[in-house]
Chain A
């Protein structure tokens, strides 16, 4: 059937369809194996005629075009792109259109550049075992989403998930540093996450106060080893976290699983696509049903239920859990959840900038399902007969659709994993086609990307200020697109100009493995701090004169300040066996004048930005002289900036 699918694309004389045919088939098989064939059999008859991907333009013309997107020396990028680092555990910041990497923010990983996971302050955020070591040193960030105000980004926070350990982290966008991490109880495979855009009830709260988190993997509840074989009792929870306190507010027990998450612009609905409504444990089981679902949560009703005490508690968790399972929510008028059936193992749910439609990508179905927000609300009001009636369009767009971004002209851009393409389709046209109008063109353009796109994002596309300028295709395979660097390749983040009728591929940006989300934000929204304020750090060494060695039994505190090119103490003595805490305050006020502090053999390095205070604690178990030195270039006398740690035997 994938061959049929491609035959339809021959319309505009694509040079060599057979090459694509072969690739598609191969990749297809690679992805899903034989089990897929059943799921895809339904699609071929409905295949709408669609233009094939544009053949490459004349190379010279293309090069001239590309020059437009270069950022000349002294000029600044127009967008920030915030990318998750995948199993690097961090968040990256790129400038667009240049694709320059500006920063990697350590979140769930450790990072000896800044001392993340080394300083006491970062350890307190990351969480430690009783012995003071880090509780986890791995993390897998997938989805980064900033906080909202009035339907667009407010530049305050960025929320990011850790799929491995089920943690949510918050990055302050003024310092671009992680300031809170919360471990979510009773869930595994925390994948999708999305902040709400306003309160469902209080109109005054037109900004983010909640973050929703979906559990992809169903587990025994409680997961204490007692019910491991009762697979039918495995469940997933959908979690709501308070965006300010980062405390978990409530959880919803559901049928099926949670994959990606979206929220409505009116604050009333949170949504998650479900690829495992079968609640299968092994992957063939997860593909058993012809349709999975997109699950909608009625936020206001859930909070009323929590308030009314219609909750349970799982294990020793203190988090109230409401029942959102299908059977318990049969009456729409009281239902907390609405399960809208959509084809086969969908991936990604994205809301259009006008707030009217959710687009769920089919993944194993070559379709996108368009669900009207209005109709979901109508179902909750009891005025829509079946949840499935909320689906207003289901166009065929190509093979392996995963994620959808929107422009400001009513078009959707969906990544096609198997086709290695981005498909541009018109939402209103798709709705008309679904209603039987045969004269509309749903798919308006296609473009090849290299290769196998996962997530795809339009500039400002997740806000009401979608501007239709760029689409970033985060591809999972780069293969031959960059200089080879061994078996592990960089990934390609390809930039596509979507401002015209035809999509134009304008840049291949390399990114380290492995970004999932890339949120593209207008530069004027982000307002960062230039330096820290010393008063924010309770342990700051505010005066050079306060420097010194302070002993309290076996515990020794070294108070240090730095000002280029010197630390306030030239040396400091401790005894073997002491528990040493070094507090370092950077007294330099000049922007960008950061100092480092490394201690040889004690495995310590961290930095202090201007006016910042950091501390480390370690056991002085090795006698001798240890030259502590500044690792972050600061001054012409940077190399001279050192101090001796002297550990007496």
Chain B
């Protein structure tokens, strides 16, 4: 078993080299100094000069959201040459990993990007799949582009004033998120420093009906909204008490304002507001957490609450907060913390939807690490409070929606493929009856077709190779937090998984593994081609006893990865390189360092000589699907003689038929060869015997029934007959 040793060595080298890769990928989960997020002297902790060439000194953080000014010495005088911003100061847009790509961005005084540097990312794909340099190259596309332009991922569309950026294949979500980070950060600073004009939203015109709704009506109408954060959402142990329970609402609207505050306080509040100033109230009816915190005491900024509207975010200074002495609306809950906050900006308009954001921290219970966790609730004044109702609002699509829209055609084709394969398989009986041991084309034409499409279109084209990492991610999502966006962000994988889950429980994992898995298809295709080009004599199967032992390895791999993932998702992602999928499809055999290429090429090379070695022995994805396949609804057919007849077992490429003729549906890849035999009266021994018997006896050859036997001419005592047949085969 030489190749087994080779396999082991290869595996070992993969693990070793991934450790090496970890050391090289210097921004993956890079440890940044804590001060970088908070210290006024951002540039003491961040390499600002690298993103603003020519700058020699930097100011402290200023503005809201913060940025620093970059200066160059010119004739002994300081000259402002640009601005540096830390993306996470401005937006916490998560990338594929669910965590932000922390980016340091330099912009000159003309609003052109002059430097982009990733300080830290958590993208697994960039760690092992796609070289980090591709993200660096992606970011370089921003250089010298103006922050006010419409920069999007994809083709440039001059007629729409859209400047396109080349995406990174296989990391679409990462780059869409990155583009959002770049543009949000750039525009928010450009607006503050006057490079871009601030957004001015048309102000709301209120209906003043004089009606004073009670609290319940205000809540029902959506004039008062709620944010509840539970302890588990911030990584604390579950408890009966919410972490914080807030109610908020917009006060400038006279009906709502008077209902909430009462006439006197409402008039008094409004008399103190200028045009473009907006009051909202917040009360805390539950939870021990304060929404005010203490940051405002020294820093002057409330760091736990924010209002966001479109791309604008509005924070509150200490002087933007007033006492809320009481809520006049009958039925209001008791509260123990309250405030009136003033948004002082014409960029804010109550006519349009906005969000009240509670800025929290999530504590990772395993590591104690803190990460930002924001909780928001959208607020949009109910139509009856606005003259003319709510204006029409075109909301920018969420990144996942954009992905679905831009790839609609491919998605439709892919969905059609999945449906077609499922349909073909559902009618497999018709195909297998047409096929014979000698001529399997009625089945194979569909199967090979599926393979070729899977390899070419699904694998190399759409990069939609499902992976064990997705299963791990799901496990974590189920246990901790399920976000649809994460799964919707890759439509092919999303659809593929729907297909997989449905078919696994209907027919078993074989339909995916045997017909549609791009790598599996490639692997078996190589085997078939190898056989066809004359290498058949070198092709072999592992002896049964070895097969029966080694097939468990993949389960070990799966549970190993699952276990590691609970300890470190990052490490599990790295170890998931045991799948050669990224190397084969996402990155390409020739774009990776040699250990990966060797591993993938080795597996594929081996595939020429033995059928699907990876699938049978190593594939953790297959293992994870094999287990639920135990509970499939429809299995493949067997007949009584199968327990002793080995005809199918001999021809079973996936070695899924055991000594007793049983099909192991965890191992079966639905090649349907045995089903072809099942109804082939020339190849299935019991059928052939009966055929011969009947021919000899001059009896009619009736069609073969659903039970795999000739439809009886007259009732025969089945058992005796079957026993006789068995004996005859043996002899």
Q: What 0/1 readout, one digit per residue, does chain B (243-274) give for beta carbons within 8 Å of chain A?
A: 00000000000000000000011001000100
CA distance A75 to B326 in the complex (A): 11
- Looking at the assembled complex, report how far the CB atom of A444 sits from the nearest CB atom of chain B, in whole angstroms: 30
Is A554 part of the binding interface, using a Cβ–Cβ cutoff of 8 Å? no
CA distance A523 to B300 in the complex (A): 24
Chain A residues with CB under 8 A of B297: 592
Contact A74 B318 (CB under 8 A): no
Contact A590 B298 (CB under 8 A): yes
Chain B residues with CB under 8 A of A78: 325
Is B396 part of the binding interface, using a Cβ–Cβ cutoff of 8 Å? no
Is B76 part of the binding interface, using a Cβ–Cβ cutoff of 8 Å? no
CA distance A591 to B297 in the complex (A): 8
Chain B residues with CB under 8 A of A523: 323, 325
CA distance A249 to B264 in the complex (A): 33
Is B319 part of the binding interface, using a Cβ–Cβ cutoff of 8 Å? yes
B337 to A, closest residue via Cβ = A74
A72 to B, closest residue via Cβ = B336
CA distance A76 to B323 in the complex (A): 9
Q: What 0/1 readout, one digit per residue, does chain B (302-344) give for beta carbons within 8 Å of chain A?
A: 0000000000000001110001010000000000110000000
Contact B300 A589 (CB under 8 A): yes
CA distance A74 to B337 in the complex (A): 8
Is A524 part of the binding interface, using a Cβ–Cβ cutoff of 8 Å? yes
Contact B325 A590 (CB under 8 A): no
Chain A residues with CB under 8 A of B268: 524-525, 527
Q: Which of A74, A76, A524, A531 has the most CB of B within 10 A?
A: A524
Contact B319 A531 (CB under 8 A): yes
- Looking at the assembled complex, report how far the CB atom of B264 sits from the nearest CB atom of chain A, in whole angstroms: 6
Is A530 part of the binding interface, using a Cβ–Cβ cutoff of 8 Å? yes
Chain A residues with CB under 8 A of B299: 590
Contact A524 B265 (CB under 8 A): yes
Query: Is chain A's binding surface mostly helix, strand, loop or mixed?
Result: loop
Contact A590 B318 (CB under 8 A): yes
CA distance A589 to B317 in the complex (A): 10
A76-B318 in contact given A524-B265, A590-B298, A591-B300 (Cβ < 8 Å): no
Contact B272 A591 (CB under 8 A): no
Chain A residues with CB under 8 A of B325: 76, 78, 523-524
Chain A residues with CB under 8 A of B265: 524
A590-B272 in contact given A530-B318, A531-B319 (Cβ < 8 Å): no
- Looking at the assembled complex, report how far the CB atom of B676 sits from the nearest CB atom of chain A, in whole angstroms: 79
Q: What 0/1 readout, one digit per residue, does chain A (523-566) give for beta carbons within 8 Å of chain B?
A: 11101001100000000000000000000000000000000000
B271 to A, closest residue via Cβ = A527
B298 to A, closest residue via Cβ = A590
CA distance A74 to B335 in the complex (A): 11
A591-B337 in contact given A524-B325, A527-B272 (Cβ < 8 Å): no
CA distance A523 to B297 in the complex (A): 22
Q: Which of B264, B318, B323 has the most CB of A within 10 A?
A: B318
Q: How many chain A residues touch B (Cβ–Cβ < 8 Å)?
A: 15
- Looking at the assembled complex, report how far the CB atom of B268 sits from the nearest CB atom of chain A, in whole angstroms: 6
Chain A residues with CB under 8 A of B319: 530-531, 589, 591
Contact A591 B323 (CB under 8 A): no
A74-B336 in contact given A524-B325, A530-B318 (Cβ < 8 Å): yes
- Looking at the assembled complex, report how far the CB atom of B423 sits from the nearest CB atom of chain A, in whole angstroms: 66
CA distance A589 to B298 in the complex (A): 10
- Looking at the assembled complex, report how far the CB atom of B298 sits from the nearest CB atom of chain A, in whole angstroms: 7
Q: How many chain B residues touch A (Cβ–Cβ < 8 Å)?
A: 15
CA distance A74 to B339 in the complex (A): 12
A window 36-95: CB within 8 A of B: 74-76, 78
A window 364-407: CB within 8 A of B: none
CA distance A74 to B290 in the complex (A): 11
CA distance A46 to B343 in the complex (A): 65
CA distance A75 to B268 in the complex (A): 22
- Looking at the assembled complex, report how far the CB atom of A148 sits from the nearest CB atom of chain B, in whole angstroms: 15
CA distance A58 to B664 in the complex (A): 86
Chain B residues with CB under 8 A of A524: 264-265, 268, 325
Chain A residues with CB under 8 A of B264: 524
Q: Which of A76, A590, A592 has the most CB of B within 10 A?
A: A590
- Looking at the assembled complex, report how far the CB atom of A638 sits from the nearest CB atom of chain B, in whole angstroms: 12
Q: Which of A75, A525, A591 has the most CB of B within 10 A?
A: A591
CA distance A527 to B266 in the complex (A): 13
A590-B323 in contact given A524-B265, A527-B268 (Cβ < 8 Å): no
Q: Which of B268, B272, B337 has the most CB of A within 10 A?
A: B268
Chain B residues with CB under 8 A of A530: 318-319
- Looking at the assembled complex, report how far the CB atom of B263 sits from the nearest CB atom of chain A, in whole angstroms: 11
CA distance A525 to B336 in the complex (A): 22
CA distance A74 to B336 in the complex (A): 8
CA distance A591 to B298 in the complex (A): 9
B336 to A, closest residue via Cβ = A74
A152 to B, closest residue via Cβ = B264
- Looking at the assembled complex, report how far the CB atom of A628 sits from the nearest CB atom of chain B, in whole angstroms: 23
- Looking at the assembled complex, report how far the CB atom of A411 sits from the nearest CB atom of chain B, in whole angstroms: 24
Chain B residues with CB under 8 A of A74: 336-337
CA distance A383 to B624 in the complex (A): 106
CA distance A589 to B265 in the complex (A): 26
Q: What 0/1 readout, one digit per residue, does chain B (353-378) give for beta carbons within 8 Å of chain A?
A: 00000000000000000000000000
Chain B residues with CB under 8 A of A76: 323, 325
Chain B residues with CB under 8 A of A527: 268, 272
CA distance A530 to B268 in the complex (A): 16
A78 to B, closest residue via Cβ = B325
- Looking at the assembled complex, report how far the CB atom of A460 sits from the nearest CB atom of chain B, in whole angstroms: 12
CA distance A592 to B317 in the complex (A): 13
Chain A residues with CB under 8 A of B300: 589-591, 593
Chain A residues with CB under 8 A of B336: 74-75
Chain A residues with CB under 8 A of B323: 76, 523
CA distance A78 to B326 in the complex (A): 10
CA distance A512 to B530 in the complex (A): 104
A window 476-532: CB within 8 A of B: 523-525, 527, 530-531
CA distance A530 to B336 in the complex (A): 23
- Looking at the assembled complex, report how far the CB atom of A173 sits from the nearest CB atom of chain B, in whole angstroms: 13
B326 to A, closest residue via Cβ = A524
CA distance A76 to B324 in the complex (A): 10
A window 208-258: CB within 8 A of B: none
- Looking at the assembled complex, report how far the CB atom of A70 sits from the nearest CB atom of chain B, in whole angstroms: 15
- Looking at the assembled complex, report how far the CB atom of B418 sits from the nearest CB atom of chain A, in whole angstroms: 59
A465 to B, closest residue via Cβ = B264
CA distance A475 to B497 in the complex (A): 82
Chain B residues with CB under 8 A of A593: 298, 300
- Looking at the assembled complex, report how far the CB atom of B415 sits from the nearest CB atom of chain A, in whole angstroms: 57
B318 to A, closest residue via Cβ = A591
Q: Which of A76, A78, A527 has the most CB of B within 10 A?
A: A527
A154 to B, closest residue via Cβ = B268
Q: What 0/1 readout, one digit per residue, does chain B (263-291) give for beta carbons within 8 Å of chain A?
A: 01100100010000000000000000000
Chain A residues with CB under 8 A of B337: 74
CA distance A76 to B325 in the complex (A): 8
Chain B residues with CB under 8 A of A75: 336
- Looking at the assembled complex, report how far the CB atom of B66 sits from the nearest CB atom of chain A, in whole angstroms: 16
CA distance A525 to B317 in the complex (A): 23
- Looking at the assembled complex, report how far the CB atom of A151 sits from the nearest CB atom of chain B, in whole angstroms: 13
- Looking at the assembled complex, report how far the CB atom of B304 sits from the nearest CB atom of chain A, in whole angstroms: 16
Known: A76-B325, A525-B268, A531-B319. 11 other contacts (CB 8 A): A74-B337, A523-B323, A523-B325, A527-B268, A530-B318, A530-B319, A589-B300, A589-B317, A590-B298, A591-B318, A591-B319
Q: List 29 A-B contacts (CB under 8 A).
A: A74-B336, A74-B337, A76-B323, A76-B325, A78-B325, A523-B323, A523-B325, A524-B264, A524-B265, A524-B268, A524-B325, A525-B268, A527-B268, A527-B272, A530-B318, A530-B319, A531-B319, A589-B300, A589-B317, A589-B319, A590-B298, A590-B300, A590-B318, A591-B300, A591-B318, A591-B319, A592-B318, A593-B298, A593-B300
User: Nearest 3 pairs between A and B by C-beta?
Assistant: A590-B300, A591-B318, A530-B319
Interface residues of A (CB under 8 A from B): 74-76, 78, 523-525, 527, 530-531, 589-593
